[in-house]
Amino acid sequence: MLCRVCLILSLLWSAAAMAVQITDSTGRTMSVTDRTADRHPRVLYARGTDGLRVAAPDTQAAEVFTVLGWQVLAPDGPKRGQGTFRPSSIEAIRTLDPDIVIFSDPAMRDTLVRTEAWRTVRAVRDGNAHAAPALPFGWAEEPPSINRLFGLAWPRGHEPSMLAATFYAALYGHALSPARFEAVLAGVLPIKP
């Protein structure tokens, strides 16, 4: 019985120590100056290999951007509360004229390179299109997880490689191998068609 109590206490102690470490890491990351604080960019967040399923404002999928104070854009869709993602077209996205486009699917890197119509969207043409990192969980949207802390820090101008190195060690209890590090950060750099 005493061994069992000691085991439980050691697990609780480890969890408490990890919670303090995560809290400290989060505080340090979020306290760094927000490089977008003086502006509120207009952002479009899209899903799919074609990027044509757009997150509606005021939905859980757009929550990271809302918390950042960014204006979430989407084409007119069904009545409020009826669906998170709206079908769209490149023409409709071009008309919305977002400052930043963030895609959930890393396949959009290839799509933007191959599809001339996407280059008519100002954010894409200006190098402000990104594929949100998704390993081991999404940084922007799904699943709702602690990785959304990355999603709050990365678009604010924090160095993504530092975020990955710091948080993965704190949250997951191990440093990333060089190969895993590269895989995690594959989508972070702007997409240049």
Write down all domains in the chain, each with its CATH number in brackets.
38-157 (3.40.50.1980)
Question: What angle do the packed helices 160-172 and 2-31 form, to 10 degrees?
Answer: 170
Q: What is the pTM of this model?
A: 0.73
pLDDT in tens, 136-172: 667 777 766 666 666 666 666 656 666 667 777 777 7
Return the top range by mean pLDDT from 44-48, 127-131, 166-170, 177-181: 44-48
Is-contact 40 69, C-beta < 8 A? yes
| Percent above pLDDT 90 for the chain | 23
Of the two residues 111 and 19, the one the predictor is more confident about is 111
Q: What per-residue confidence (pLDDT) applies to 174? A: 72
In this predicted structure, the answer to whether residue 52 has a pLDDT above a threshold of 90 is: yes
Q: Could you give the residue ranges of the DSSP H alpha helices within the chain?
A: 2-31, 63-67, 90-96, 108-114, 122-125, 148-153, 160-172, 178-184
In this predicted structure, the answer to whether residue 9 has a pLDDT above a threshold of 50 is: no
